Amino acid sequence: MYASGLRASEVGTIALADLQERIGVIRILGKGDKHRLVPMGKPAINALDQYLKQCRPMLITAERAADRRDQGKIFLSRTGRPIERVRVWQLVKHYANQAGLEKAHPHMLRHSFATHLLAGGADLRIVQDLLGHADITTTQIYTHVDRTKLRQTIKNLHPRG
């Protein structure tokens, strides 16, 4: 989710056919039934590859495969059906708690994705496309972090600061 800026609701909609591992992108069906291509870094590709080879096959038993419970989706629940948004929330909260993070939720991963891209110098319009925002003003909320950094940089480095 962090590596591609996904919404919790988008995770369960990703189909095996949406994965373009060779070029490191995944096709996402977002809000308003709009598709977008988002990149995946090598760590995410490696983790996904491991999941697809080791974990996912265990979730699809012979009887589950026969009734196509998985619907061709990548991420499955323990019943072999596509994972639902609520379960994504539960998993993120569970692992965040294990890591000592108290108020974490899936959307924080999306916020972090956008904030880190902008802090690294990414163009706002590119971040808008990656997040699937229809309006640039929705994406602009992430620029407040850069403004804070900008103010501090000016204070520290400007000769009249």
The pLDDT assigned to 149 comes to 66
Per-chain mean pLDDT for the chain: 88
Q: Of these residues, 35, 68, 107, 149, which one is catalytic?
A: 107
CATH number of 8-157: 1.10.443.10
Q: Of these residues, 36, 56, 69, 133, which one is catalytic?
A: 133
Active site residue 133: yes
- DSSP letter for each residue of 60-121: --HHHHHTTTTTTBSSB-TTSSBPPHHHHHHHHHHHHHHTT-SS--HHHHHHHHHHHHHHTT
Q: What is d(CA 118, CA 128) in angstroms, rounded to the nearest whole number?
A: 11
Segment 14-22 mean pLDDT: 93
Active site residue 51: no
Q: Is 103 a residue whose pLDDT tops 70?
A: yes
Q: For 128-155, what is each residue's pLDDT tens digit?
A: 999 999 899 888 887 776 666 667 767 7
Q: For 28-47, what is each residue's pLDDT tens digit?
A: 998 888 899 999 989 999 99
Active site residue 64: no
Active site residue 73: no
Higher pLDDT, 81 or 150: 81
Kindly calculate the radius of gyration of the chain based on its CA atoms and give it in whole angstroms: 19
Active site residue 160: no
Active site residue 31: yes
